[in-house]
Amino acid sequence: MSILTIVEEMAISKFKATCLSVVERVRKTRTPILITRHGVPVAQIGPPQPAEQPKSWLGSMTGTMQILGDIVAPASDPEEWEAMRD
Collapsing DSSP to helix, strand or coil, 79 comes out as helix
- At 54-71, the pLDDT tens digits run 778 888 888 898 888 888
C-alpha–C-alpha distance, residues 85 and 31, integer Å: 78
Low-confidence ranges of the chain (pLDDT < 70): 1-4, 6, 84-86
Closest by Cα among 50, 40, 53, 31 to 12: 40
Closest by Cα among 50, 1, 41, 7 to 26: 7
Closest by Cα among 82, 14, 78, 79 to 22: 14
pLDDT of residue 31: 92
